[in-house]
Amino acid sequence: MKGFSSVPASFFCRDTAEVARDLLGMWLVNFSVEGCAGGIIVETEAYRGAEDPASHAYRGETRRNRAMFGEPGKAYVYFIYGNHFCLNVVAHPPGKAGAVLLRALEPRIGVELMENRRGGKSGKELCNGPGKLCCALGVDRSYYGMPFRPLCERKGLGLGKSGHKYEYEIECGPRIGIKLAREARLRFWIKGNPYVSKLGRAFR
Protein backbone atom coordinates (compact mmCIF):
# COMPACT_ATOMS: atom_id res chain seq x y z
CA MET A 1 0.00 0.00 0.00
CA LYS A 2 1.60 3.23 -1.14
CA GLY A 3 1.32 6.50 0.71
CA PHE A 4 1.06 4.88 4.11
CA SER A 5 3.57 5.11 6.93
CA SER A 6 4.05 2.34 9.47
CA VAL A 7 3.81 2.73 13.22
CA PRO A 8 6.96 2.29 15.33
CA ALA A 9 6.84 -0.21 18.22
CA SER A 10 7.33 2.71 20.62
CA PHE A 11 3.91 4.06 19.59
CA PHE A 12 2.23 1.35 21.69
CA CYS A 13 4.57 1.66 24.69
CA ARG A 14 2.88 4.80 26.05
CA ASP A 15 -0.07 5.63 28.27
CA THR A 16 -3.08 3.70 27.00
CA ALA A 17 -5.28 6.80 26.73
CA GLU A 18 -2.70 8.59 24.56
CA VAL A 19 -2.53 5.61 22.24
CA ALA A 20 -6.34 5.43 22.07
CA ARG A 21 -6.49 9.07 21.03
CA ASP A 22 -3.70 8.75 18.48
CA LEU A 23 -5.23 5.68 16.85
CA LEU A 24 -8.14 7.83 15.64
CA GLY A 25 -7.80 8.61 11.96
CA MET A 26 -5.44 5.68 11.34
CA TRP A 27 -6.15 2.84 8.94
CA LEU A 28 -6.98 -0.67 10.07
CA VAL A 29 -7.13 -3.40 7.44
CA ASN A 30 -7.47 -7.15 7.78
CA PHE A 31 -5.76 -9.04 4.96
CA SER A 32 -7.46 -12.46 5.09
CA VAL A 33 -7.74 -15.33 2.62
CA GLU A 34 -11.19 -13.97 1.69
CA GLY A 35 -9.69 -10.62 0.73
CA CYS A 36 -8.82 -7.36 2.44
CA ALA A 37 -11.29 -5.28 4.40
CA GLY A 38 -10.92 -2.24 6.60
CA GLY A 39 -11.10 1.50 6.98
CA ILE A 40 -10.37 4.46 9.21
CA ILE A 41 -10.57 4.16 13.00
CA VAL A 42 -13.16 6.66 14.29
CA GLU A 43 -13.89 5.50 17.87
CA THR A 44 -11.75 3.92 20.61
CA GLU A 45 -11.74 3.28 24.35
CA ALA A 46 -8.74 2.97 26.67
CA TYR A 47 -8.52 0.30 29.36
CA ARG A 48 -5.61 0.35 31.76
CA GLY A 49 -4.41 -2.28 34.23
CA ALA A 50 -4.35 -2.52 38.02
CA GLU A 51 -5.38 1.15 38.43
CA ASP A 52 -8.52 0.80 36.27
CA PRO A 53 -11.41 -1.07 37.96
CA ALA A 54 -13.31 -1.23 34.66
CA SER A 55 -10.49 -3.09 32.92
CA HIS A 56 -10.28 -6.82 32.33
CA ALA A 57 -6.73 -6.56 33.65
CA TYR A 58 -7.80 -5.01 36.97
CA ARG A 59 -7.88 -8.29 38.89
CA GLY A 60 -4.50 -9.43 37.64
CA GLU A 61 -3.38 -11.69 34.88
CA THR A 62 -5.54 -14.64 33.80
CA ARG A 63 -5.51 -16.90 30.77
CA ARG A 64 -8.14 -14.71 29.12
CA ASN A 65 -6.48 -11.30 29.58
CA ARG A 66 -2.88 -12.51 29.27
CA ALA A 67 -2.38 -10.45 26.10
CA MET A 68 -3.06 -7.19 27.97
CA PHE A 69 0.03 -7.81 30.07
CA GLY A 70 2.12 -8.85 27.09
CA GLU A 71 3.94 -7.14 24.28
CA PRO A 72 2.33 -3.88 23.10
CA GLY A 73 1.22 -3.69 19.47
CA LYS A 74 -0.53 -7.04 19.45
CA ALA A 75 -4.22 -7.93 19.28
CA TYR A 76 -6.32 -8.74 22.34
CA VAL A 77 -9.54 -10.40 21.22
CA TYR A 78 -12.27 -11.49 23.61
CA PHE A 79 -15.70 -13.04 23.36
CA ILE A 80 -18.62 -11.33 25.07
CA TYR A 81 -22.38 -11.70 25.63
CA GLY A 82 -22.25 -15.14 24.12
CA ASN A 83 -22.33 -13.82 20.54
CA HIS A 84 -19.73 -11.16 19.93
CA PHE A 85 -16.01 -10.54 19.64
CA CYS A 86 -14.19 -7.34 20.52
CA LEU A 87 -10.84 -6.31 19.03
CA ASN A 88 -8.28 -4.45 21.14
CA VAL A 89 -4.76 -3.16 20.54
CA VAL A 90 -2.43 -3.94 23.43
CA ALA A 91 -0.86 -0.65 24.55
CA HIS A 92 0.79 0.33 27.83
CA PRO A 93 4.01 1.75 29.27
CA PRO A 94 6.71 -0.79 30.23
CA GLY A 95 5.75 -2.89 33.26
CA LYS A 96 2.05 -2.02 33.04
CA ALA A 97 -1.02 -3.56 31.40
CA GLY A 98 -3.64 -2.13 29.10
CA ALA A 99 -5.38 -2.19 25.76
CA VAL A 100 -7.36 0.03 23.42
CA LEU A 101 -10.79 -1.23 22.37
CA LEU A 102 -11.53 -0.47 18.72
CA ARG A 103 -15.22 0.49 18.68
CA ALA A 104 -15.95 1.85 15.22
CA LEU A 105 -14.49 2.10 11.74
CA GLU A 106 -15.29 4.17 8.66
CA PRO A 107 -15.37 1.48 5.93
CA ARG A 108 -13.01 2.23 3.02
CA ILE A 109 -11.63 -1.07 1.65
CA GLY A 110 -13.41 -4.33 0.84
CA VAL A 111 -16.86 -2.91 1.49
CA GLU A 112 -18.55 -5.70 -0.46
CA LEU A 113 -16.75 -8.36 1.58
CA MET A 114 -17.77 -6.63 4.81
CA GLU A 115 -21.39 -6.43 3.64
CA ASN A 116 -21.39 -10.16 3.01
CA ARG A 117 -19.91 -10.88 6.43
CA ARG A 118 -22.49 -8.60 8.03
CA GLY A 119 -25.38 -10.39 6.39
CA GLY A 120 -26.30 -7.71 3.88
CA LYS A 121 -25.93 -4.72 6.22
CA SER A 122 -24.25 -1.70 4.64
CA GLY A 123 -23.05 1.83 5.20
CA LYS A 124 -22.99 2.96 8.80
CA GLU A 125 -24.28 -0.40 10.02
CA LEU A 126 -21.09 -2.14 8.89
CA CYS A 127 -18.63 -1.21 11.64
CA ASN A 128 -20.29 1.18 14.12
CA GLY A 129 -19.77 -1.01 17.20
CA PRO A 130 -17.06 -3.33 18.51
CA GLY A 131 -18.97 -6.54 17.75
CA LYS A 132 -19.95 -5.33 14.29
CA LEU A 133 -16.38 -4.27 13.54
CA CYS A 134 -15.04 -7.74 14.32
CA CYS A 135 -17.77 -9.37 12.26
CA ALA A 136 -17.14 -7.12 9.24
CA LEU A 137 -13.38 -7.68 9.38
CA GLY A 138 -13.66 -11.39 10.03
CA VAL A 139 -11.82 -11.16 13.36
CA ASP A 140 -12.34 -14.02 15.81
CA ARG A 141 -10.55 -15.85 18.62
CA SER A 142 -7.82 -17.05 16.24
CA TYR A 143 -6.53 -13.45 16.03
CA TYR A 144 -5.66 -13.43 19.75
CA GLY A 145 -2.08 -12.26 20.20
CA MET A 146 -1.57 -11.53 16.51
CA PRO A 147 0.74 -8.54 15.86
CA PHE A 148 -0.48 -5.44 14.03
CA ARG A 149 1.80 -5.11 10.98
CA PRO A 150 2.64 -2.26 8.62
CA LEU A 151 0.03 -2.00 5.85
CA CYS A 152 2.71 -2.51 3.20
CA GLU A 153 3.14 -6.13 4.29
CA ARG A 154 -0.42 -6.85 3.20
CA LYS A 155 -0.68 -9.67 5.70
CA GLY A 156 -2.89 -10.27 8.72
CA LEU A 157 -3.92 -7.20 10.68
CA GLY A 158 -2.48 -4.05 9.13
CA LEU A 159 -2.27 -0.68 10.87
CA GLY A 160 -0.82 2.59 9.61
CA LYS A 161 -1.16 6.28 8.94
CA SER A 162 -2.31 7.62 5.62
CA GLY A 163 -0.17 10.30 4.02
CA HIS A 164 -3.42 11.78 2.78
CA LYS A 165 -4.42 14.78 4.82
CA TYR A 166 -7.42 14.01 7.00
CA GLU A 167 -8.81 16.82 9.13
CA TYR A 168 -10.81 16.02 12.23
CA GLU A 169 -11.51 17.06 15.78
CA ILE A 170 -11.35 14.63 18.70
CA GLU A 171 -14.01 14.43 21.40
CA CYS A 172 -13.89 12.34 24.56
CA GLY A 173 -16.36 11.06 27.14
CA PRO A 174 -17.10 8.23 29.57
CA ARG A 175 -16.76 4.66 28.35
CA ILE A 176 -19.82 2.79 27.13
CA GLY A 177 -21.51 0.24 29.35
CA ILE A 178 -19.10 0.93 32.22
CA LYS A 179 -20.43 1.73 35.65
CA LEU A 180 -17.06 1.98 37.37
CA ALA A 181 -14.77 4.92 36.80
CA ARG A 182 -17.28 6.84 34.72
CA GLU A 183 -15.47 10.02 35.62
CA ALA A 184 -12.55 8.87 33.52
CA ARG A 185 -13.08 10.19 30.02
CA LEU A 186 -11.36 7.35 28.26
CA ARG A 187 -13.55 7.02 25.17
CA PHE A 188 -12.38 8.97 22.14
CA TRP A 189 -14.09 9.57 18.82
CA ILE A 190 -13.86 11.77 15.74
CA LYS A 191 -16.30 14.64 16.13
CA GLY A 192 -19.24 14.51 13.78
CA ASN A 193 -18.15 11.34 12.00
CA PRO A 194 -21.30 9.45 10.98
CA TYR A 195 -19.63 6.06 11.47
CA VAL A 196 -19.20 6.50 15.25
CA SER A 197 -21.52 4.13 17.12
CA LYS A 198 -24.97 5.49 17.99
CA LEU A 199 -24.44 5.09 21.71
CA GLY A 200 -21.19 6.88 21.19
CA ARG A 201 -22.86 10.00 19.91
CA ALA A 202 -25.65 9.91 22.47
CA PHE A 203 -23.35 10.79 25.38
CA ARG A 204 -21.43 13.98 25.74
Partner DNA sequence: TGCCTGATTGCCT
Partner DNA sequence: GGCAATCAGGCAA
Q: Give the nearest distance from C-beta 39 to DNA in angstroms.
A: 15
Distance of CA 66 to the CA centre of its chain: 18
Tell me, by CB under 7 A, how many residues bind DNA. 39
Tell me the closest approach of the beta carbon of residue 3 to DNA, in angstroms: 30
> Is 159 one of the binding residues for DNA (CB under 7 A)?
no
CB distance 158 to 150 below 8 Å: yes
For residue 113, state whether it binds DNA (rule: CB under 7 A). Answer: no
Q: Does 138 bind DNA (CB under 7 A)?
A: no
Residue 84 binds to DNA (criterion: CB under 7 A): yes
Residues 42-81 that bind DNA (CB under 7 A): 45, 47, 54-57, 59, 62-65, 78-81
Classify residue 125 as exposed, middle or buried by CB count within 10 Å of its CB (0-12, 13-18, 19+): middle
Phi, psi at residue 96, to the nearest 5°?
-110, -170
Query: Of the two residues 26 and 54, which places its CB atom closer to DNA in the complex?
Result: 54
Q: Which is nearer to DNA, 4 or 187 (CB)?
A: 187
Rounded distance between C-alpha atoms, residue 198 and residue 202, angstroms: 6
**29 CB-contact burial (10 Å; exposed 0-12 / middle 13-18 / buried 19+):** buried
Does 139 sit near DNA (CB under 7 A)?
no
Q: Using CB under 7 A, which of 107, 129, 138, 158 touches DNA?
A: 129
* Torsion angle in degrees (nearest 10) through CA of 180, 186, 84, 36: -170
Is 175:53 a contact under the CB 8 Å cutoff?
no
- Which residues of the shown chain bind DNA in the complex (CB under 7 A)? 45, 47, 54-57, 59, 62-65, 78-84, 86, 88, 99, 101, 118-119, 121, 125, 129-133, 135, 175-179, 197, 199
